[in-house]
Amino acid sequence: MAYWLLKTEPENYSYFDLERDGNTVWDGVNNSLALKHIRTMILGDLALIYHTGKERQIIGLAEIVSQPYIDPALNDSKRPVVDVRALRRVNQPVTLAQIKQDNKFTDFDLLRLPRLSVVPVGEVYWQHLIELTNGTN
C-alpha cells in the first residue's frame, strides 16, 4: 500500500463533493510527474485530500478504488486517472502553515514541489499527518 496527497480546488471539486458523490474519477491532472504517480497507484492505496486556494489544508481521507486507466473523457493513453472513494473527514484539518512550521516535514514533496497535484506521502510523514488530523499532536 502507498499513501498519497491529492490536491483539489474546493471551488471546482471539494472533499464535500466527494462525500456527496461517494466516489469519483480523479482527473484533470496535467503535470507529467503527477501523472507518473497516478500510474503507480494501486487498489487500496490511501490518500489525504488537500484543498488548495485560500484554504490550503488537508480536509479528508480517501481510498483509491481502481487501478489506473485511461481517462475516458480524453481517450489519451498519456492521461491516466483513478477512481477515488471518500472515507471520512479529518477531525482536525491540517494547514499548509502547520506543515511548513513542523521540522518533521523538511523533505516532504508538498513543500519541495508545491505545484505538484499528486504527492507521494512516505510512511513517516503519513503517520505524523494522521496524528495531526486526529488532533493528537
pLDDT for 137 equals 46
Beta-sheet pairing, 3-8 with 46-51: parallel
Give 22's DSSP letter: S
Q: Which CATH architecture has domain 3-133?
A: Roll (3.10)
Give the pLDDT band (50/70/90) at residue 99.
Answer: very high
Residue 130 pLDDT > 90: yes
Q: Which sequence spans correspond to the domains of the chain?
A: 3-133
Tell me the C-alpha distance between 32 and 12, whole Å.
21
- Average pLDDT on 92-120 reads 96
pLDDT for 75 equals 85
Tell me the C-alpha distance between 43 and 114, whole Å.
26
In whole angstroms, what separates CA 85 from the centre of its chain?
A: 12
Tell me the C-alpha distance between 2 and 41, whole Å.
7
pTM metric for this prediction: 0.95
Report pLDDT digits (tens) over 11-69.
999 999 999 999 999 999 999 999 999 999 999 999 999 999 999 999 999 999 999 99
Contact 85, 62 (CB under 8 A): yes
pLDDT for 136 equals 60
